[in-house]
Structures are given as C-alpha cells and as structure tokens.
Amino acid sequence: MRPSYPLPPSAEKKLTQLLEQAATKADYRRVLCVWLRVALGMSAAEIATALGWSLGTVHNLHSQYLHAGTSILVGSGRGGRRRELLTLAEEETLLAELVARAEQGDITEASAVRAALEQQAGQVVAKSTVYRLLERHGWRKLVPRPFHPDTSLDAQEAFKKSSGVWCAPRLPVKQSAASACG
C-alpha cells in the first residue's frame, strides 16, 4: 500500500470553517471526509466505515481535494446532463424543422429523427436516445390503427359467410329471442 500524500497544514482550519458553513448533508459529508483525515489522522478505510461510503469514494474525494482544493467540497452536487449530445436549444432547433413538416400533415418517423440527430451530433445514436429526446420535448407516439387491406363490403360479407361461426339470422322482435342464437 502506498503512502498517502500529506495535506497542507492550513487545511484543518479551513475545513473546520467549512463544516460549520455546510448547507446540505452531502456538503457536510464531503467536508467531513477530508476533515477526519486532517484533524484525526484517520485512514481511508476508517473514514469509509464511519461515513458508510466505499473505500474508492473516499480515495477519489481525497484525490480531488488535493488537486482542486476546497471548491469541490461545497456545492458540487450531481445532476444535469453530463453526457448530452446536443444542448436543449440545439435539440429544439433540430425538432423545429420536423415540426414544420408535421404541421403540413406528414408523419414524422423516429428513423428520420435519428438520422437528423446522428448527422448533427456526428456519431451513432441509439433508438432509446431518440425516444427520450422526443419525450423530453413533449412529442408523443402515434400508432395508426391497423386495418385490413381488403376493406370492401363484399369481401367482408364473404368473410362472414365463410368464417365457420354459425348463428341463426336475426328474428323479428315479435318472436322469442331464446331461439335465435344458442
């Protein structure tokens, strides 16, 4: 096991002040992770056990602190679109062209959106990325209702006659309904 890099001597005073100023639980725990090493001389394994973190998380935070200082300890929450292909504004302009076509009555297929996105992003894009993009901008999927290509009335009547289901013809209202279909 390699020895850990020493922290600057002024770090304890700064970290004590940051512990008092921490606004969120996450900020407090990040500052506490480094403070335990500086003030109490705890090892990374002991800090990980005390905070309920993994050993790798503690090592990563200590390394980030050594490289960037106290700026990474407070207010560095996760969130946002870290792996975005396009910004939201770029996505809107991409979809604006397709909206113009859709307003004229054309059906916009996901494959067309995918091709346009791949061209603008300059890389291959998965189908799920396209569906998330469309959902993010309020588009919804329309599935046309299926219909039989042979919709003529003559073909439908012929199908009914040859379907194999037999039922007596409709009886006039005056006769008993019990003898109709059984």
| Long-range residue pairs from 108-113, CB within 8 A, at least 24 positions apart, any chain | 110/134
58: its two tokens: 């503690």
Report residue 22: phi and psi, to 5°. -60, 130
DSSP of 127-177, one letter per residue? HHHHHHHHHHTT-----PPP--S---HHHHHHHHHTSS---PPPPPTTS-G
Mean pLDDT per 10-residue segment, the chain (182 residues): 74 89 89 92 93 94 89 75 86 87 78 92 92 88 64 70 47 50 46
179: its two tokens: 């003898």
Q: CA 116, CA 110: separation in Å to the nearest integer?
A: 10
Q: Class of the 11-72 domain?
A: mainly alpha
CB of 111 within 8 A of CB of 119? no
pLDDT of residue 164: 46
SS (H, E, C) 62-120: HHHHHHHHHHHCCCCCCCCCCCCCCCHHHHHHHHHHHHHHHHCCCCCCHHHHHHHHHHH
Residue with tokens 């959902």: 135
pLDDT of residue 9: 75
Q: Where in the chain is the domain with CATH 1.10.10?
A: 11-72
pLDDT of residue 77: 64
pLDDT in tens, 24-71: 888 899 999 999 999 898 999 999 999 999 999 999 999 999 988 888
CB of 31 within 8 A of CB of 15? yes
| DSSP 8-state code for residue 138 | T
Largest CA distance in the chain: 105
Residue with tokens 């973190």: 53
pLDDT of residue 91: 92
Which residues does 50 contact at the CB level (< 8 Å), separation at least 6? 36, 42
